[in-house]
A and B are shown apart, each in its own frame.
Chain A
Amino acid sequence: MVSALRSIDLDKFDEPGSFSRSPSNSQEINRWLKANGFFFNPFAELNASADPHLYQYIVQHSAADALWGQDHALIFEPKGGGKTTLRVRTAQNCYVGQQQNRPFPISYLPPFLQWGDAKPSPEDHLQAILTSAMKQLLISLVYRPHWFLDLNSDDQQLIRSCLERDLMGPLEDFLVLIDVDPERLSLFRRRFDIFLPMRSTPATTQVIALRQQLASIAPQPIAGDVWARWQILRQILLSLFRFDSIYLLIDGLDAGPETAADVHALIRSCDFIWRSLPAWEKERVFVKAFLPSESAETLQAGYRVECKRAKLVHIEWTPDLLVEMLLLRIEAATQGHYSSFAAIATPDLMDVEWQIVKTASEISHANLPREVLSLLSHILLAAARRSVAPARLQYQDVEAGIRAYRAESSI
């Protein structure tokens, strides 16, 4: 038996799914995939930010490439089109190696529910950005403890105090979760709600040293208002840690009750951000905003000058790209043994991915990854229920899956 085959992670097949409507992560599908040579279920996580294998099957890489760099970037994509995927991928790209030679990413999802409306003040934004930054910093330190341990005691004191001031709770509550035990680390990540699929586990001694060091420093009050603390954050990241820049990755703007229904409200809710673009550019803070397609016109009309300072990236999903998305997922999950369901289908299903994309598009009237993955999961469920794998995918499974997807879509 070759070693690659020894690495099947059975636990991956038992991870709870995050998408309630689709049967994408059912035990039946997982069992069927495993028996057909899959090392994990690449269709289980419709929420990209929770997908630990995301980096293996990213498509739209030209867009990802375009948004990388020392510029602001405004990325417009349809709902369900994978904005979160791009954001998570961009954050991941910031963590190649253990040095600070990449930008520091701050994933910022404006907390509309906490604010109670979509009219936050600049201070509201800054406070929320500071909290996001501290979450990101703490999780970064857990995976790169030496960033903190190599600093002198004054700088450590400053960071400890900032964490205490702007995290969403006392640091002590999180320190108990900073452990080399994977379960605790997983809980720690969940508490932070910014799953950052870092692949390497830090050295045990370093993690323990970080926890002890953070616990041993008494936090001092941080003087100044939110504006002053924003400047301190910049100083910490750019001067102390020497990151070359800060990426402010803004997502979830259409998640608020008002912003979901009204693009004007959505754009207006971030007025402070758009107006800050020229100043932030000089301060090496680059906004990478992931926005719904329909907001493009409103944003450009309202902030013409500011938008000129940013790269505008419009993402469209074509059938070709959707097929590529499926093929890459299959290839990654089978460790390159095959990249199409045709390999495990009867000979009349040579073009099964095309059929799935075409049908999902016809029924949902859109070319969207979410719809394609949803239809696929119904097809896999039909196959799994028809026969215990290893068994070939058959045309009748596709038909049954389409029926179930159509019924679900009509609800």
Chain B
Amino acid sequence: MTAATGKPIERTLFNPDAFVGHADEKIGRSPEVNLILGKVKQLCNGDPVEKRVTVFSGEAALGKSWLLHQIEIELKSEDDPCFRRVKTYRLDPPDRSHIEDDFDATREVKKILEEFAQGVISQSIREISLPELSRHVMALTKKVLENSFLVLFVDAVFEADWNFLELFEEHLLGPLAIIPNVLIVLSGRGRKFPWATPELRFRADFRDLQPFTLGDTRVQIERLNRPELAISDRIDLIQEIGQGVPGATGWLVKDSEFLDNQNPETLDAILNHLLESVPEANRTKIRRNIEALCVLRAFDDDRVSKLVQVYEEATGGSPDNLPLTHGASVNIQKNLVHEAFAQYQNAQGAYTLDKYMAKLAEEYLKRQNPLLWKNLHTTAMNLYAEWIVKYERTKDRWVEEKSYHEEVLRSASAL
């Protein structure tokens, strides 16, 4: 069940069998799986666990949902004397109801609490108000947990609406986080929510998921019943294009035609697949904006304005929207951040796209429309040339960026 809607999950993005082999076989994420199993064991032995909240973050298709699923399976198969309860929530329902106009965060949190009461403490509680419901559920949970412990998984947590998260924390996650025999495992991507509960924020164990190494990708390919790809030189191509992102590897392995011809259709399918979490009405726009910006190493509204304009003009975008206003460029940035495909980077003083997504988009564009791809790089290069003159204080930065685009174009011409 999904947490926020109560409807069944039908996400193709999360399909453990399709992407990383059978869930009973460990691959790639053993350290993370063992980290949680180790904490469970400590709790089981009655030892204090210093950081009972673990947060796995990582970009799209890195296998966050799979990891939580894998840990859950391992937990259920553990043969130990501890009586434990396991509960899983996913906060990104496929129908994205939380972005609709009638979304009511209070109602959604109440639903979760009622479902939690049913699933974890076997109680059917229906109260008038959220605070009352929370109070009763937590009082009963505390009692139930005197002789057992709880492992709570919350997937796609940072993708959820912030008003919802505030209530979710206040009424469930925060109170659970301070109970000594509760272990919480969160996963998500994009901007982090500023939790108020210290146990969720300052005393949590933060782990960034990394892409698979070549060795892990090889094992993944073997387990997807394509051992012939794992031993051929094609694995290098898969690793180069897929970048060790398990979700991307799964798609590349499925499509042997891409490996033969490197046609853009497979990359197109992977990009669409990675964008499944975006509401349908917004998906094409987000996809087009990612393609327009994928050549940049960082962007702000000036750069958005220039690059999106070039892209739109070349691909028949609506002339009514051109030239882009300052407000429109800012909105493009906001939407990309909101959908967790871009993040603000302090070190760059600008936004960057999800790097795996950007690379896939650029590979796609390079094959699908090489002229546009070159135009985008040229536009970026020219913009930086202007900035070198205009912004003396930060000139070095723009010299570096201009050189990068020059180098890319030079390499492309040499091919």
Interface of A toward B, CB cutoff 8 Å: 2-5, 7, 37, 55-57, 61, 64-65, 68, 92-93, 96-99, 101-102, 146, 199-206, 327-328, 331-332, 335-340, 342-344, 346-351, 390-391, 395
> A96 contacts B178, CB within 8 Å?
yes
For chain B, what secondary structure do more than half of its interface residues adopt (helix, strand, loop), or is it mixed? helix
Residues of B within 8 A of A328 (CB): 194
25 CB contacts below 8 A, A to B, read: A2-B161, A3-B100, A4-B338, A7-B162, A55-B196, A93-B198, A96-B175, A96-B199, A97-B178, A98-B134, A98-B175, A199-B166, A200-B131, A203-B132, A206-B131, A327-B346, A336-B191, A337-B344, A339-B346, A346-B391, A347-B394, A348-B390, A348-B393, A349-B393, A350-B397
Q: A4-B338, A337-B344 are in contact. Are A347 and B391 (CB under 8 A)?
A: yes
In the complex, B337 has a CB within 8 A of chain A: yes
CB distance from B321 to the nearest CB of A (A): 17
Tally inter-chain residue pairs, CB-CB below 8 A: 145
> A203 contacts B131, CB within 8 Å?
yes
Residues of B within 8 A of A203 (CB): 128-129, 131-132
Which single member of B131, B202, B394 contacts A350 (CB below 8 Å)?
B394
Chain B, interface size category, equals: 35 or more
Which single member of A65, A204, A344 contacts B203 (CB below 8 Å)?
A65
Query: Roughly how many angstroms separate A351 CA and B397 CA in the complex, as a whole number?
Result: 12
Residues of A within 8 A of B179 (CB): 101
> A96 contacts B349, CB within 8 Å?
no
Interface of B toward A, CB cutoff 8 Å: 98-100, 103, 128-132, 134-135, 138-139, 142, 161-163, 166-167, 170-171, 174-175, 177-179, 190-194, 196-199, 201-203, 300-302, 326-327, 330, 333-335, 337-338, 344, 346, 349-351, 387, 390-394, 397-398
Q: A204-B129, A343-B344 are in contact. Are A351 and B178 (CB under 8 A)?
A: no
> A99 contacts B139, CB within 8 Å?
yes
Query: Roughly how many angstroms separate A227 CA and B32 CA in the complex, as a whole number?
Result: 55
Residues of B within 8 A of A4 (CB): 161-163, 338
Query: Roughly how many angstroms separate A199 CA and B175 CA in the complex, as a whole number?
Result: 14
> A332 contacts B391, CB within 8 Å?
no
Which single member of A57, A65, A99, A348 contacts B202 (CB below 8 Å)?
A65
> B202 contacts A202, CB within 8 Å?
no
> A37 contacts B138, CB within 8 Å?
no
Residues of A within 8 A of B335 (CB): 2
Q: A3-B103, A200-B171, A340-B344 are in contact. Are A37 and B194 (CB under 8 A)?
A: no
Query: Which residue from chain B places its CB closest to the CB of A339 in the assembled complex?
Result: B344
> B128 contacts A348, CB within 8 Å?
no
For chain A, what secondary structure do more than half of its interface residues adopt (helix, strand, loop), or is it mixed? loop
Point out which of B326, B337, B344 has the most chain A C-beta atoms below 10 A from its C-beta: B344
Query: Which residue from chain B places its CB closest to the CB of A204 in the assembled complex?
Result: B129
> B129 contacts A37, CB within 8 Å?
no
> A68 contacts B103, CB within 8 Å?
no
Residues of A within 8 A of B191 (CB): 331, 335-337
CB distance from B173 to the nearest CB of A (A): 10
Query: What are the nearest 3 A-B pairs in CB distance?
Result: A336-B191, A97-B175, A342-B349
Q: A3-B163, A4-B162, A4-B163 are in contact. Are A64 and B198 (CB under 8 A)?
A: yes
> B129 contacts A350, CB within 8 Å?
no
Query: Roughly how many angstroms separate A92 CA and B128 CA in the complex, as a whole number?
Result: 26
CB distance from B338 to the nearest CB of A (A): 5
Query: Roughly how many angstroms separate A390 CA and B139 CA in the complex, as a whole number?
Result: 48
Query: Which residue from chain A places its CB closest to the CB of B282 in the assembled complex?
Result: A2
CB distance from A328 to the nearest CB of B (A): 8
CB distance from A140 to the nearest CB of B (A): 14
> B192 contacts A336, CB within 8 Å?
yes
Query: Roughly how many angstroms separate A195 CA and B85 CA in the complex, as a whole number?
Result: 39
Query: Roughly how many angstroms separate A261 CA and B161 CA in the complex, as a whole number?
Result: 49
> B338 contacts A2, CB within 8 Å?
yes
> B178 contacts A347, CB within 8 Å?
no
Query: Roughly how many angstroms separate A99 CA and B142 CA in the complex, as a whole number?
Result: 10
Which single member of B99, B175, B196 contacts A2 (CB below 8 Å)?
B99
Query: Roughly how many angstroms separate A343 CA and B330 CA in the complex, as a whole number?
Result: 10
Q: A3-B103, A336-B191 are in contact. Are A96 and B174 (CB under 8 A)?
A: yes
> B194 contacts A347, CB within 8 Å?
no
CB distance from B184 to the nearest CB of A (A): 13
